[in-house]
Structure 1
């Protein structure tokens, strides 16, 4: 249904309709709310419409939403509702109560406190998972005049939709053994037809059951129209006594209502789209660039990565933009102001967070406390810089004189990697726990995400070690761990032999240096059809480190940006893909001696970072119907 409301200015007004009922998943809903608040400006205005059942009316989490609005002098409208009619009943009551002031909004966002955390995460990540995602959706509405609804990827379907196009969690929960057509039973269709007649010809010109559709979960963005300001409020007056007092899987009027809204868009020849979970670029971060005892011993006192880069005279090797020009220069990572500027640069260019390499050794040459190159990570915990989401990736390979992780001779070995036994595994987890418990630590469904660079190198130690860690995580008050392995050349070239990691490794991330960006899932030890976080490589050139690398992979910022954009566009065509949060891993933030660098350099400045920002601000909306 086309927007039939006239607006006098170019200011975009959004009505955020939030229904809080049996539970308040405050982490996800707060993040959605925060991202909407970040988008506010002179050209985007936000108004909150909040419905509360008696169960949550006095919950402390509710104050987070109300106080933020009052503190920012924004309008908020609260309505108290009975615990009936599910979220759709509360939504109709909101529309009815405030119908006389809704015409100011061009767009509506409807979200509610879904009790299923995986389903809620898909909705929040897709609809408001980042400020850039919100901008992408608003831009899609502004540029596609027939777009009526934007839903979470894989949540909108009809009786004839392929199961492969449905969000996998939804498919497993409701349609594992039955067809999608069971969501459109005769009783629900008859109720929809009755409601269509009650709405009148302007809203529902005819009813055709083969166009019946559903946005499962009833969380979506919509273009505002008289459907929301007049027709649905009037319908609420006539059906309010039919709203259910308890929950049922099907056949209630609420089920007809949640199917009715997207169906009306189709009946009026309007477009329904969906959008993937917000892309969250996580840049791999090398925590060196300061002197420490092991490097002093191996390479000479005061050695850092800059020692190698400063010696390099190869053509095409880029060096850092100086601090005075807005870059970072030849920094010391123990300097707080350097790390603060890293966070500022990353955040302002759409980089979601950093994945710090973590070094823990057991074997010949390892320190007694196992920690190597740890100062930057521990200092970050102390001074909170970079103040950015972060996670750790265990770079679990031996250190050698060739920086390759390959022991070709005893003479080449610097620190071995043998992994120890259970006592050491416990000690290692206790050390990691301080990071896992940090509020900025990256999580998936509440579980800290921990990456392992070479799972194959752990061999028979992997399963008992990770099983112990997951148990210790739960004992420490965490919901578990989300363990991610790396699909890299060690695995694809069979240097590290594959083996069964089921129940231990939960996902994989792509670390393929010879490909500019992922375009498909890859064979992995955790399974081809399991969660895979795709990735992109800025460029790769080891000449500063090795001196004789014959085939540097050189890419301009535009070539990198084009590949990264194509990857995100490809992900938008895969509604049935196994994914919860849209992490993608970028190699790298600051690998200067491999030239895999997002940080600004003397040659290209900030152009690589600008390419990322361009992509995350323009996430495609896929046409579903």
Structure 2
């Protein structure tokens, strides 16, 4: 067989690439083959099973189980794992001390039939799931998380039929397993007054994440054989750990913010991740997850506490009776108005057919991405909403329902207007003409469209032209939207944002004209915000208020530091030529900025940023996005605007559906609803 010169060159490059990879593996891992799994939960095993149809992490039979979902779930959920059924009655008896409505979900590994508790006036719903004795009480809990059984709950009490006979063989512990169990029941459920104190504490302190029995928040002394497993598991959510900072709730019984457990969906845990049962007291995936729950709670900006701290908390916070806010009938007020950005490029258009090929939509980019480093989540795949088409009103209704369920006030649509020509206008026009109750507002995305998807001056497909049709006329084009009853208003003023105001030399005069025409059209006063972008993205120059604006809004990652991420540790593909940044560092910078923002300037967080789907080997990627860090970011921004009037407590999110940039609140195969649940947790806490 003859080999051409080009073919020989390709083979040489292939062999050279394998040799380089082998050398790097030898240096990093001590062998030429790369990471070798030493434990079922190792990251290499996780990476190996990516691609294709994924294991859901719970029994498929649960999908059609008539027990779930509950028709009217409570705000408080009780999760009980039963291995010793003879101890279940004692647990049930203590549940009578919960003073608000609650649901009970039992995972049963006992092999015996488990009855529902009787005589509990506040129990509203009950379900029992048969599970294997695998992963102790932790994998059954994870299965409930993966199946979204726990999604409705703001607070969760997690308990199990505990014996812990092994404690009697360890001199480090002063009490037997039975005494330990009794302490948990006493501290967490001992009396109605005790439970009321716990609920009051959660109601009064937005930062309280978990309460366990006195003496059971422990630290680095209790790593045991679990540190390496924890490190491997945390790589799944792109987080490193600080071993000396470990704090977690020993014993795995506690009251906890629902999101702390709901976010475990992001770990994509399955049965194969958990060790075979052999009586282990340490060094298993179950023990590692026990520690991870403490780590991620703190990463989410929440604190761990013990029951013994309740008197001091009551003295510091007050809030007696506040726990009644967890009753099903208690009225609620959102802590802030959350507005994500909304991309309308999920339908065919004449222009995209011409520029990119017939039938092109944003999904064409999204599905073509491939991973650029080990564990890289590409392509992004939707779950609940599917690969939708925004020509269909039903899609907008489902998006509206999903947003409302997670305390999102409405969407800020990107609006594309080029010298009098609308692009990607079909979704907003169909919304305007429909009865879908989706609150919305507009951002004039006045940037050039380019083949590089960067808004710059090269490879322009269609550009902004303020000479042919003046920017003043833009307001006439959107006036009908501003007058819509569903349009988002702040103190009665329709909210309108401009992405690149500096492109217009006379932008202050443009805004004056907009205001005059809005008043003349009967819309009244309008609220105009400039997006806080960098100077090379045509930001405003000078003080927003002096320029006649009502303020600015943040649009991360614009105007935030680009701090390098750990590119050398992620196994980057040799074709990579992009930028690799730290999500954690960007979040920290945004949080610091938000604490200094003056009124009229509105903070923003981003779910993620990774435009691999548009630029494959030359993307900008922020490594480290995960639901817990995102929760902390949003929480800090909400805290930063908490001293403003209710109407001005606005936080923007990048984004609802920027699928090709990975800024996605909509449910995905890897994260489920966990980013949405983070928002709900912050806003409704």
Normalising by the residue count of structure 1, what TM-score does the alignment of the two structures yield?
0.50
Match of 1:388 in 2: 438
Q: Once the 2 structures are TM-superposed, how far is the Cα of residue 474 of structure 1 from its aligned partner?
A: 1.2
Q: 1:498 aligns with which of 536, 541, 544?
A: 541
- Report if aligned partners of 1:290, 1:332 keep a CA contact under 8 Å in 2: yes
Match of 1:375 in 2: 426
- Report if aligned partners of 1:532, 1:578 keep a CA contact under 8 Å in 2: no
Match of 1:416 in 2: 463
Q: 1:320 aligns with which of 381, 400, 405?
A: 381
Q: What is the CA RMSD across the aligned residues, in angstroms?
A: 3.5
- Report if aligned partners of 1:587, 1:596 keep a CA contact under 8 Å in 2: yes
Structure 1 portions without partners, runs of 5+:
1-7, 13-41, 45-138, 148-267, 363-368, 619-625
Match of 1:65 in 2: none
Listed one character per residue, the Cα deviations across residues 2-31 of structure 1 (whole Å, up to 9, x for unaligned) are: xxxxxx99469xxxxxxxxxxxxxxxxxxx
Listed one character per residue, the Cα deviations across residues 271-300 of structure 1 (whole Å, up to 9, x for unaligned) are: 599999831110100011111011111111
Tell me, what secondary structure is at the counterpart of 1:485?
strand
Give runs of aligned pairs for residues 218-617 of structure 1, distance below 5 A. 271=318, 278-314=335-371, 315-322=376-383, 327-362=384-419, 369-385=420-436, 387-408=437-458, 412-420=459-467, 424-425=470-471, 427-460=473-506, 462-488=507-533, 490-491=534-535, 496=539, 498-499=541-542, 501=544, 502=546, 504-513=548-557, 515-516=586-587, 518-521=590-593, 529-549=598-618, 551-554=620-623, 555-572=625-642, 575=643, 580-617=647-684
Tell me, what secondary structure is at the counterpart of 1:599?
coil
How far apart in 2 are the matches of 1:288 and 1:405? 16
- Report if aligned partners of 1:591, 1:597 keep a CA contact under 8 Å in 2: yes
Tell me, what secondary structure is at the counterpart of 2:495?
strand
How far apart in 2 are the matches of 1:321 and 1:145? 34
Tell me, what secondary structure is at the counterpart of 2:367?
helix
Q: Once the 2 structures are TM-superposed, how far is the Cα of residue 476 of structure 1 from its aligned partner?
A: 1.9
Tell me, what secondary structure is at the counterpart of 2:553?
strand
Q: Once the 2 structures are TM-superposed, how far is the Cα of residue 334 of structure 1 from its aligned partner?
A: 0.8
Tell me, what secondary structure is at the counterpart of 2:531?
strand
Q: Work out which structure has the larger RCO, using CA pairs closer than 8 Å and 6 or more positions apart in sequence.
A: 1
Tell me, what secondary structure is at the counterpart of 1:603?
coil
Equivalent residue pairs, number: 345
How far apart in 1 are the matches of 2:680 and 2:626? 16
- Report if aligned partners of 1:286, 1:356 keep a CA contact under 8 Å in 2: yes
How far apart in 2 are the matches of 1:299 and 1:384? 33
Tell me, what secondary structure is at the counterpart of 1:552?
strand
Q: Once the 2 structures are TM-superposed, how far is the Cα of residue 430 of structure 1 from its aligned partner?
A: 2.4
How far apart in 2 are the matches of 1:565 and 1:9? 28
How far apart in 2 are the matches of 1:43 and 1:446? 43
- Report if aligned partners of 2:605, 2:634 keep a CA contact under 8 Å in 1: yes
Tell me, what secondary structure is at the counterpart of 1:360?
strand
- Report if aligned partners of 1:512, 1:537 keep a CA contact under 8 Å in 2: yes
Change (3 A) 1:276 1:549: farther
How far apart in 2 are the matches of 1:402 and 1:503? 32
Listed one character per residue, the Cα deviations across residues 528-549 of structure 1 (whole Å, up to 9, x for unaligned) are: 6341111110010011101123
How far apart in 2 are the matches of 1:146 and 1:393? 36
How far apart in 2 are the matches of 1:302 and 1:316? 25
- Report if aligned partners of 2:529, 2:553 keep a CA contact under 8 Å in 1: yes
Change (3 A) 1:9 1:396: same
- Report if aligned partners of 2:397, 2:438 keep a CA contact under 8 Å in 1: no
How far apart in 1 are the matches of 2:636 and 2:598? 21
Shift >6 Å, 4+ stretches: 272-277
- Report if aligned partners of 1:452, 1:484 keep a CA contact under 8 Å in 2: yes
Normalising by the residue count of structure 2, what TM-score does the alignment of the two structures yield?
0.46
Change (3 A) 1:146 1:510: closer
How far apart in 2 are the matches of 1:481 and 1:312? 41
- Report if aligned partners of 1:530, 1:578 keep a CA contact under 8 Å in 2: no
- Report if aligned partners of 1:320, 1:599 keep a CA contact under 8 Å in 2: no
- Report if aligned partners of 2:556, 2:654 keep a CA contact under 8 Å in 1: no
How far apart in 1 are the matches of 2:463 and 2:335? 40
How far apart in 2 are the matches of 1:144 and 1:467? 49
- Report if aligned partners of 1:283, 1:588 keep a CA contact under 8 Å in 2: yes
How far apart in 2 are the matches of 1:507 and 1:276? 25
Q: Once the 2 structures are TM-superposed, how far is the Cα of residue 487 of structure 1 from its aligned partner?
A: 1.1
Q: Once the 2 structures are TM-superposed, how far is the Cα of residue 617 of structure 1 from its aligned partner?
A: 1.2
How far apart in 2 are the matches of 1:496 and 1:596? 22
